[in-house]
Chain A
């Protein structure tokens, strides 16, 4: 059974600081996704990582994937208040039965002025 663990689960940081959220998973997978969720809202796709060593950046966020270590990181650079949200990683392989993703518990990020 695939297990996905994120840490930390809660993160409070100051504007301008850097930090990393970690996503570990228990079995081999070639696909990893990061989503953002604002309170009371739906999930918004941030990054799709499809191969070992993949790195993607969008604004102050950068995601990477190490399939050998079964680890993905979401790095936040010079945080701003607008980044406050819950971030989920999701892991899954492409199966004939579709893209059955397993989600981590989520990391609730609060960026303080």
Chain B
């Protein structure tokens, strides 16, 4: 049972480049989330989705875009990467109790 899968797991970008992180879940969850984790700051919500075709802003949405074209996939895009976006990104989905299930994380470095 795969759960939540993120690709890629590691990526190095130059400032100004663009990229997309892919999250896939096989648990038929409606809700999906993208978080970033930085040292000493816990996890902060970037964007989330309450169902196929819907997205909404979280706590730190600037510089990111998302899409949820299929229920099982949630994409996070960086149009013009900046060094401040160097972070570890986690995708998650939740079950009806609200408990989050996380992917393994994607470590992004922007030079």
Q: Which residues of A contact B (CB under 8 A)?
A: 4, 31, 33, 35, 41-45, 48, 50, 88, 90, 92, 94, 96-101, 103-106
Task: Give the contact-size bracket for chain B.
Answer: 20 to 34
On chain A, the residues within 8 Å of B98 by CB distance are 31, 33, 48, 92, 94, 99, 101
Interface check B34, CB cutoff 8 A: no
For A99, give its contact among B31, B58, B90 (CB under 8 Å): B31
Interface of A is mostly: loop
Q: Is the CB–CB distance between B94 and A106 below 8 Å?
A: no
Q: How far is the CB of B25 from chain A (nearest CB, A)?
A: 13
For A97, give its contact among B50, B100, B103, B104 (CB under 8 Å): B50
Q: Is the CB–CB distance between A33 and B100 below 8 Å?
A: yes
- Of the listed residues B94, B97, B98, the one surrounded by the most CB atoms of chain A closer than 10 A to its CB is B98
Q: Is the CB–CB distance between A88 and B43 below 8 Å?
A: yes
A sample of 18 cross-chain residue pairs with beta-carbon separation below 8 angstroms, ordered by A number, consists of: A31-B97, A42-B102, A42-B104, A43-B43, A43-B100, A43-B102, A44-B102, A45-B100, A48-B99, A90-B100, A98-B31, A98-B33, A98-B48, A98-B49, A99-B99, A100-B58, A101-B100, A105-B42
Q: How far is the CB of B12 from chain A (nearest CB, A)?
A: 17
A105 to B42, CA, bound (A): 4
A97 to B33, CA, bound (A): 11
On chain A, the residues within 8 Å of B64 by CB distance are none
Interface check B41, CB cutoff 8 A: yes
Interface check B69, CB cutoff 8 A: no
Q: Is the CB–CB distance between A42 and B105 below 8 Å?
A: yes
A33 to B44, CA, bound (A): 15
Q: How far is the CB of A7 from chain B (nearest CB, A)?
A: 13
On chain A, the residues within 8 Å of B56 by CB distance are 97
A86 to B100, CA, bound (A): 17
- Of the listed residues B90, B94, B101, the one surrounded by the most CB atoms of chain A closer than 10 A to its CB is B94
